[in-house]
Protein backbone atom coordinates (compact mmCIF):
# COMPACT_ATOMS: atom_id res chain seq x y z
CA UNK A 1 0.00 0.00 0.00
CA UNK A 2 2.85 2.36 0.82
CA UNK A 3 4.47 1.56 -2.53
CA UNK A 4 1.26 2.48 -4.32
CA UNK A 5 1.09 5.81 -2.48
CA UNK A 6 4.69 6.53 -3.44
CA UNK A 7 3.87 5.86 -7.10
CA UNK A 8 0.88 8.19 -6.95
CA UNK A 9 1.86 11.14 -4.73
CA UNK A 10 -1.15 13.13 -5.95
CA UNK A 11 -3.53 10.52 -4.60
CA UNK A 12 -1.69 10.52 -1.28
CA UNK A 13 -2.09 14.29 -0.99
CA UNK A 14 -5.80 14.09 -1.75
CA UNK A 15 -6.25 11.28 0.74
CA UNK A 16 -4.55 13.22 3.51
CA UNK A 17 -6.51 16.33 2.62
CA UNK A 18 -10.04 15.02 2.16
CA UNK A 19 -10.26 12.10 4.57
CA UNK A 20 -10.58 8.36 4.58
CA UNK A 21 -13.11 8.03 1.73
CA UNK A 22 -10.43 7.87 -0.96
CA UNK A 23 -8.46 5.41 1.11
CA UNK A 24 -11.43 3.02 1.34
CA UNK A 25 -12.09 3.37 -2.37
CA UNK A 26 -8.48 2.58 -3.25
CA UNK A 27 -8.40 -0.41 -0.90
CA UNK A 28 -11.57 -1.82 -2.49
CA UNK A 29 -10.11 -1.54 -5.99
CA UNK A 30 -6.87 -3.20 -4.93
CA UNK A 31 -8.78 -6.01 -3.20
CA UNK A 32 -10.81 -6.60 -6.36
CA UNK A 33 -7.70 -6.88 -8.53
CA UNK A 34 -6.04 -9.22 -6.04
CA UNK A 35 -9.12 -11.48 -5.93
CA UNK A 36 -9.41 -11.67 -9.71
CA UNK A 37 -5.72 -12.43 -10.02
CA UNK A 38 -5.98 -15.18 -7.42
CA UNK A 39 -8.85 -16.88 -9.23
CA UNK A 40 -7.09 -16.54 -12.57
CA UNK A 41 -3.90 -17.95 -11.12
CA UNK A 42 -5.82 -20.85 -9.60
CA UNK A 43 -7.48 -21.66 -12.92
CA UNK A 44 -4.23 -21.44 -14.85
CA UNK A 45 -2.45 -23.68 -12.36
CA UNK A 46 -4.63 -26.69 -13.20
CA UNK A 47 -2.82 -29.06 -15.56
CA UNK A 48 -4.25 -29.61 -19.03
CA UNK A 49 -5.25 -33.08 -20.18
CA UNK A 50 -5.84 -34.50 -23.66
CA UNK A 51 -9.28 -36.08 -23.31
CA UNK A 52 -10.01 -38.77 -25.92
CA UNK A 53 -12.72 -41.36 -26.27
CA UNK A 54 -15.60 -42.97 -28.15
CA UNK A 55 -19.34 -42.71 -27.46
CA UNK A 56 -21.40 -45.87 -27.90
CA UNK A 57 -24.80 -47.27 -26.98
CA UNK A 58 -25.08 -48.58 -23.43
CA UNK A 59 -27.15 -51.56 -24.61
CA UNK A 60 -24.57 -52.65 -27.17
CA UNK A 61 -20.95 -51.59 -27.50
CA UNK A 62 -21.11 -52.35 -31.23
CA UNK A 63 -23.53 -49.46 -31.81
CA UNK A 64 -21.75 -46.12 -32.11
CA UNK A 65 -23.57 -42.90 -31.19
CA UNK A 66 -22.43 -40.17 -33.62
CA UNK A 67 -22.52 -36.38 -33.30
CA UNK A 68 -22.84 -36.23 -29.51
CA UNK A 69 -22.73 -32.75 -27.96
CA UNK A 70 -20.01 -32.45 -25.29
CA UNK A 71 -20.35 -29.43 -22.98
CA UNK A 72 -17.61 -28.40 -20.56
CA UNK A 73 -19.58 -26.87 -17.69
CA UNK A 74 -16.34 -25.89 -15.95
CA UNK A 75 -15.20 -23.73 -18.89
CA UNK A 76 -18.14 -21.39 -19.41
CA UNK A 77 -20.21 -24.17 -21.07
CA UNK A 78 -17.89 -24.43 -24.05
CA UNK A 79 -19.25 -27.13 -26.35
CA UNK A 80 -17.73 -29.65 -28.72
CA UNK A 81 -18.99 -32.60 -30.74
CA UNK A 82 -17.99 -36.15 -31.58
CA UNK A 83 -17.63 -37.15 -35.23
CA UNK A 84 -19.75 -39.58 -37.23
CA UNK A 85 -17.83 -42.50 -35.69
CA UNK A 86 -18.48 -41.29 -32.13
CA UNK A 87 -14.83 -40.31 -31.67
CA UNK A 88 -13.79 -37.14 -29.84
CA UNK A 89 -10.50 -35.59 -28.71
CA UNK A 90 -9.88 -32.18 -27.17
CA UNK A 91 -7.97 -30.45 -24.37
CA UNK A 92 -9.49 -30.02 -20.90
CA UNK A 93 -8.25 -29.30 -17.40
CA UNK A 94 -8.11 -31.73 -14.54
CA UNK A 95 -11.35 -31.91 -12.50
CA UNK A 96 -13.38 -30.37 -15.32
CA UNK A 97 -16.99 -31.51 -15.56
CA UNK A 98 -18.23 -32.53 -19.01
CA UNK A 99 -21.79 -33.33 -20.02
CA UNK A 100 -22.59 -35.66 -22.95
CA UNK A 101 -26.00 -35.16 -24.55
CA UNK A 102 -27.67 -36.52 -27.68
CA UNK A 103 -31.24 -36.67 -28.97
CA UNK A 104 -32.83 -39.98 -27.99
CA UNK A 105 -30.33 -40.71 -25.21
CA UNK A 106 -30.07 -39.80 -21.55
CA UNK A 107 -27.36 -37.29 -20.54
CA UNK A 108 -24.12 -38.49 -18.96
CA UNK A 109 -21.74 -36.43 -16.80
CA UNK A 110 -18.01 -37.16 -16.71
CA UNK A 111 -15.50 -35.57 -14.29
CA UNK A 112 -11.84 -35.53 -15.31
CA UNK A 113 -9.82 -36.96 -12.41
CA UNK A 114 -6.84 -35.24 -10.84
CA UNK A 115 -3.22 -36.30 -11.28
CA UNK A 116 -3.76 -37.90 -14.69
CA UNK A 117 -0.63 -39.76 -15.80
CA UNK A 118 0.99 -38.79 -19.11
CA UNK A 119 -1.44 -35.86 -19.39
CA UNK A 120 -3.77 -38.08 -21.41
CA UNK A 121 -7.15 -39.49 -20.40
CA UNK A 122 -9.11 -42.00 -22.53
CA UNK A 123 -12.68 -43.05 -21.81
CA UNK A 124 -15.51 -44.99 -23.43
CA UNK A 125 -18.72 -43.10 -22.77
CA UNK A 126 -21.96 -45.11 -22.72
CA UNK A 127 -25.27 -43.38 -23.46
CA UNK A 128 -28.48 -45.15 -22.53
CA UNK A 129 -31.37 -44.86 -25.01
CA UNK A 130 -34.21 -42.75 -23.66
CA UNK A 131 -37.77 -42.86 -25.01
CA UNK A 132 -40.01 -39.92 -24.16
CA UNK A 133 -43.72 -40.13 -24.92
CA UNK A 134 -44.96 -36.66 -25.78
CA UNK A 135 -48.56 -35.67 -24.96
CA UNK A 136 -51.15 -35.88 -27.72
CA UNK A 137 -51.36 -32.76 -29.85
CA UNK A 138 -54.45 -32.09 -31.97
CA UNK A 139 -54.12 -29.97 -35.11
CA UNK A 140 -57.31 -28.14 -36.10
CA UNK A 141 -58.01 -26.66 -39.56
CA UNK A 142 -59.18 -23.33 -38.11
CA UNK A 143 -56.74 -20.49 -37.59
CA UNK A 144 -59.06 -18.45 -35.36
CA UNK A 145 -62.11 -18.99 -33.18
CA UNK A 146 -64.27 -16.99 -35.60
CA UNK A 147 -63.50 -19.41 -38.43
CA UNK A 148 -64.50 -22.31 -36.20
CA UNK A 149 -67.82 -20.66 -35.31
CA UNK A 150 -68.54 -19.94 -38.98
CA UNK A 151 -67.89 -23.52 -40.07
CA UNK A 152 -69.78 -24.91 -37.09
CA UNK A 153 -72.91 -22.92 -37.89
CA UNK A 154 -72.73 -23.90 -41.58
CA UNK A 155 -72.25 -27.62 -40.97
CA UNK A 156 -74.93 -30.00 -42.28
CA UNK A 157 -75.94 -32.60 -39.73
CA UNK A 158 -76.18 -36.19 -40.87
CA UNK A 159 -79.57 -37.94 -40.98
CA UNK A 160 -80.58 -40.00 -37.98
CA UNK A 161 -81.54 -43.68 -38.22
CA UNK A 162 -85.28 -42.94 -38.64
CA UNK A 163 -84.69 -40.55 -41.54
CA UNK A 164 -82.33 -43.01 -43.22
CA UNK A 165 -84.94 -45.80 -42.94
CA UNK A 166 -87.64 -43.50 -44.34
CA UNK A 167 -85.51 -42.69 -47.39
CA UNK A 168 -84.64 -46.34 -47.98
CA UNK A 169 -88.31 -47.44 -48.19
CA UNK A 170 -89.52 -44.49 -50.26
CA UNK A 171 -91.07 -45.22 -53.67
CA UNK A 172 -88.20 -43.52 -55.51
CA UNK A 173 -85.58 -45.65 -53.77
CA UNK A 174 -87.51 -48.88 -54.32
CA UNK A 175 -88.01 -48.18 -58.04
CA UNK A 176 -84.34 -47.34 -58.48
CA UNK A 177 -83.31 -50.54 -56.71
CA UNK A 178 -85.77 -52.58 -58.79
CA UNK A 179 -84.16 -51.34 -62.00
CA UNK A 180 -80.63 -52.34 -61.06
CA UNK A 181 -80.98 -55.33 -58.73
CA UNK A 182 -81.52 -58.83 -60.21
CA UNK A 183 -84.80 -60.62 -59.49
CA UNK A 184 -84.88 -63.43 -56.97
CA UNK A 185 -86.42 -66.88 -57.51
CA UNK A 186 -89.85 -65.90 -56.21
CA UNK A 187 -90.11 -62.93 -58.57
CA UNK A 188 -89.01 -65.04 -61.54
CA UNK A 189 -91.59 -67.72 -60.70
CA UNK A 190 -94.35 -65.13 -60.34
CA UNK A 191 -93.48 -63.48 -63.69
CA UNK A 192 -93.38 -66.87 -65.43
CA UNK A 193 -96.78 -67.89 -64.03
CA UNK A 194 -98.28 -64.54 -65.06
CA UNK A 195 -96.94 -64.96 -68.61
CA UNK A 196 -98.34 -68.49 -68.89
CA UNK A 197 -101.73 -67.33 -67.64
CA UNK A 198 -101.84 -64.51 -70.22
CA UNK A 199 -100.83 -66.92 -72.99
CA UNK A 200 -103.66 -69.33 -72.05
CA UNK A 201 -106.22 -66.53 -72.06
CA UNK A 202 -105.16 -65.39 -75.54
CA UNK A 203 -104.83 -68.88 -77.01
CA UNK A 204 -108.42 -68.92 -78.37
CA UNK A 205 -108.53 -65.29 -79.46
CA UNK A 206 -106.68 -63.00 -81.81
CA UNK A 207 -103.69 -61.23 -80.40
CA UNK A 208 -104.16 -57.45 -80.57
CA UNK A 209 -102.07 -55.82 -83.30
CA UNK A 210 -101.05 -52.22 -82.51
CA UNK A 211 -100.75 -51.44 -86.22
CA UNK A 212 -104.50 -51.99 -86.60
CA UNK A 213 -105.39 -49.73 -83.67
CA UNK A 214 -106.86 -46.42 -84.99
CA UNK A 215 -106.17 -44.63 -81.70
CA UNK A 216 -102.47 -45.47 -81.98
CA UNK A 217 -102.38 -44.05 -85.51
CA UNK A 218 -104.17 -40.90 -84.34
CA UNK A 219 -101.63 -40.40 -81.56
CA UNK A 220 -98.75 -40.84 -84.01
CA UNK A 221 -100.22 -38.30 -86.47
CA UNK A 222 -100.77 -35.82 -83.62
CA UNK A 223 -97.13 -36.13 -82.51
CA UNK A 224 -95.87 -35.52 -86.06
CA UNK A 225 -98.14 -32.47 -86.47
CA UNK A 226 -97.02 -30.97 -83.18
CA UNK A 227 -93.38 -31.50 -84.14
CA UNK A 228 -93.88 -29.75 -87.51
CA UNK A 229 -95.61 -26.80 -85.83
CA UNK A 230 -92.71 -26.35 -83.41
CA UNK A 231 -90.18 -26.49 -86.24
CA UNK A 232 -92.03 -23.86 -88.30
CA UNK A 233 -92.41 -21.53 -85.31
CA UNK A 234 -88.65 -21.69 -84.63
> Span 80-100, mean pLDDT?
94
The answer to whether residues 69 and 101 touch, using CB atoms and an 8 Å cutoff, is yes
Q: Measure the CA–CA gap between 122 and 111, rounded to whole angstroms.
A: 12
* Average pLDDT in the chain: 82
pLDDT band at residue 37 using 50, 70 and 90 as cut-offs:
low
Of the candidates 104, 109, 110, 105, which has an alpha carbon nearest to the alpha carbon of residue 127? 105
Task: Quick: pLDDT tens for 19-29.
Answer: 566 677 677 78
The larger pLDDT score, comparing residue 99 to residue 208, is at 99
CATH class of 48-127: mainly beta
Average pLDDT over residues 150-159: 83
Which tens digit of pLDDT belongs to each residue from 62-75?
899 999 999 999 98
Amino acid sequence: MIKVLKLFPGIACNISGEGDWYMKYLIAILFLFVTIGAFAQKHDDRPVVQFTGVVHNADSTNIIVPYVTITNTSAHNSAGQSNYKGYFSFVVHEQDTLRFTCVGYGPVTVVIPANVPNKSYTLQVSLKPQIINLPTFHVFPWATTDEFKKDFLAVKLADDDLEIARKNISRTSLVALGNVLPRDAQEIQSATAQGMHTSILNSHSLTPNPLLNPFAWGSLIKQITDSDNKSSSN
